[in-house]
């Protein structure tokens, strides 16, 4: 499900079962990331799928990338793997105006 930054943040902050998932490359992550995010690079191919499959499907995942395209794809893959709650950040990190580490 695609969420605007405002909805993504407010829903995440009210969610006691939330995980932030960053699907960007290591080089992109080194430029900064949203605090407490877990990074799994979508370009790892089967490795990406294997790492997703190892995640707790009972959690709610708030997913982002640089612009929102890869994270939308990641949410689709997660849905195929049985994740019920994967939320894509529209506009991605490029439009993020929250805290960065």
Is 65 annotated as catalytic? yes
C-alpha–C-alpha distance, residues 34 and 19, integer Å: 11
Q: Please compute the mean of the pLDDT values over residues 70-97 and round it to a whole number.
A: 97
pLDDT tens per residue, range 22-61 = 999 999 999 999 999 999 999 999 999 999 999 999 999 9
Of 23, 33, 37, 65, catalytic: 65
C-alpha–C-alpha distance, residues 61 and 57, integer Å: 9
Q: Give the pair of three-digit tokens for residue 50.
A: 């294997």
For domain 2-7+17-81, the question of CATH label 3.40.50.620 is answered with no
As a whole number, the mean pLDDT across the chain is 97
Q: Please compute the mean of the pLDDT values over residues 4-12 and round it to a whole number.
A: 97
């Amino acid at each position: 499900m695609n969420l605007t930054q405002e909805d993504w943040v407010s829903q995440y902050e009210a969610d006691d079962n939330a995980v932030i998932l960053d699907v960007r490359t290591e080089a992109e992550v080194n430029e900064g990331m949203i605090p407490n995010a877990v990074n799994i690079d979508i370009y790892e191919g089967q490795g990406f799928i294997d790492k997703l499959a190892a995640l707790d499907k009972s959690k709610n995942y708030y997913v982002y990338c640089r612009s929102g395209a890869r994270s939308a794809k990641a949410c689709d893959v997660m849905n195929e793997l049985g994740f019920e709650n994967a939320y894509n950040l529209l506009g991605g990190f490029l439009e993020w105006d929250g805290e960065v580490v």
